[in-house]
């Protein structure tokens, strides 16, 4: 049986960590976000906001990451970071949620935010744009938050790096467990 376009997209999408530096337009990223917000949300108020670093603004993001590094790490990784974050990657997008001490409210917000992130990843992939979704330690660093404009009371649930990539360098998929090994099916028979 032929698979649908959306199934193919879901199966083919891969996390991209190596970008080729081809210019990505700001409008393209905004259009991705504009569609991605149609993710399911279990609250009256959408729980998210976004901080986007592109073009010369990438330097601010890169500097904020560098700020969280030790002297040794800066020495070792500084140059590569500059190349990756300010030249090869085209956009850094922070997905920010309002923190909430109530477990259910928070988990609903993270669930909705995760659905939104997958929407972005799939829509981007469809256009040949690669994405890596990162949850680095720096997401929890108050200095990093301050330097990137994340407000007190907000939490970053994902940093997305976006950009074009060379198709022939698409990573091989990590195998998934066959569903038969994961599924308990109750049919009442
Ligand atoms: C919640 C979450 C956090 C992730 N954080 C990172 C990360 O910090 N660094 C990274 O390189 N990849 C990260 N990834 C990407 C996964 O490593 C990737 O999805 C996984 O290797 C499967 O590869 P695929 O997306 O190509 O199927 C994250 C993915 C998810 C869902």
| CB contact at 8 A, 141 and 107 | no
The answer to whether residue 35 is domain-embedded is yes
The answer to whether residue 188 is domain-embedded is no
DSSP state of 179: G
Query: Mind listing the pLDDT tens digit of every residue in the chain (189 residues)?
Result: 799 999 999 999 999 999 999 999 999 999 999 999 999 999 888 999 999 999 999 999 999 999 999 999 999 999 999 999 999 999 999 999 999 999 999 999 999 999 999 999 999 999 999 999 999 999 999 999 999 999 999 999 999 999 999 999 999 999 999 999 999 999 998
- Closest atom of ligand 1 to 135 CA is 8
Pairwise CA distance, residues 110 & 144, whole Å: 20
Ligand 1 centroid to residue 188 C-alpha, Å: 37
Residue 113 C-beta-side C-alpha neighbours within 13 Å: 24
pLDDT at 45 (0 to 100): 85
Ligand 1 centroid to residue 135 C-alpha, Å: 8
pLDDT at 145 (0 to 100): 98
The complex's ipTM? 0.98
How does strand 129-134 pair with strand 91-98? unpaired
CA distances from 124 to 10, 119, 163 (A): 12, 8, 9
Ligand 1 binding pocket, CB closer than 6 Å: 14-15, 17, 132-136, 173-174
The answer to whether residue 25 is domain-embedded is yes
Question: Atom 30 in ligand 1: which residue has the minimum CA distance?
Answer: 133
pLDDT at 44 (0 to 100): 82
Pairwise CA distance, residues 47 & 108, whole Å: 9
The answer to whether residue 186 is domain-embedded is no
CA dihedral sign, ordered 162, 121, 25, 46: negative
pLDDT at 105 (0 to 100): 95
- Closest atom of ligand 1 to 14 CA is 26
- The DSSP code sequence of 133-164 is EE--GGGG-HHHHHHHTPPTTEEEEEEEEEEE
| CB contact at 8 A, 161 and 21 | no
The answer to whether residue 165 is domain-embedded is yes
Which among 15, 138, 140, 170 is the best mutation to test ligand 1's pocket, defined by most ligand atoms within 8 Å of the CB?
15
Task: Give how many domains the chain has, as a whole number.
Answer: 1
pLDDT at 1 (0 to 100): 79
The answer to whether residue 142 is domain-embedded is yes
Pairwise CA distance, residues 138 & 133, whole Å: 14
Q: What are the backbone angles phi and psi of residue 49, rounded to the nearest 5°?
A: -145, 170
pLDDT at 62 (0 to 100): 98
Q: Which structural domain range is residue 155 located in?
A: 5-181
Is 44 one of the annotated binding-site residues?
no
| CB contact at 8 A, 59 and 86 | yes
Task: Identify the CATH number of the domain in which residue 175 sits.
Answer: 3.40.109.10
The answer to whether residue 189 is domain-embedded is no
Which among 107, 122, 133, 137 is the best mutation to test ligand 1's pocket, defined by most ligand atoms within 8 Å of the CB?
133
């Amino acid at each position: 049986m032929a698979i649908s376009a959306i199934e193919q997209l879901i199966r083919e999408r891969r996390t991209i960590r190596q970008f080729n530096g081809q210019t990505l337009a700001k409008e393209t990223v905004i259009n991705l976000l504009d569609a991605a917000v149609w993710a399911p949300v279990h609250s009256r108020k959408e729980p998210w906001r976004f901080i986007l670093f592109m073009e010369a603004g990438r330097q601010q993001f890169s500097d904020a990451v560098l700020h969280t590094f030790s002297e040794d790490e800066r020495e070792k990784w500084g140059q590569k970071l500059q190349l990756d974050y300010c030249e090869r990657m085209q956009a850094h997008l922070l997905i920010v949620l309002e923190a909430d001490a109530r477990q259910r409210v928070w988990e609903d917000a993270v669930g909705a935010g995760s659905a939104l992130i997958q929407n972005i990843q799939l829509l981007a992939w469809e256009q040949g744009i690669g994405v890596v979704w990162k949850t680095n330690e720096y997401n929890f660093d108050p200095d990093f938050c301050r330097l990137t404009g994340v407000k007190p009371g907000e939490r970053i649930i994902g940093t997305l790096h976006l950009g074009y990539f060379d198709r022939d360098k698409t990573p091989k998929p990590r195998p998934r467990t066959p569903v038969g090994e994961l599924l308990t099916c109750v049919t009442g028979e």
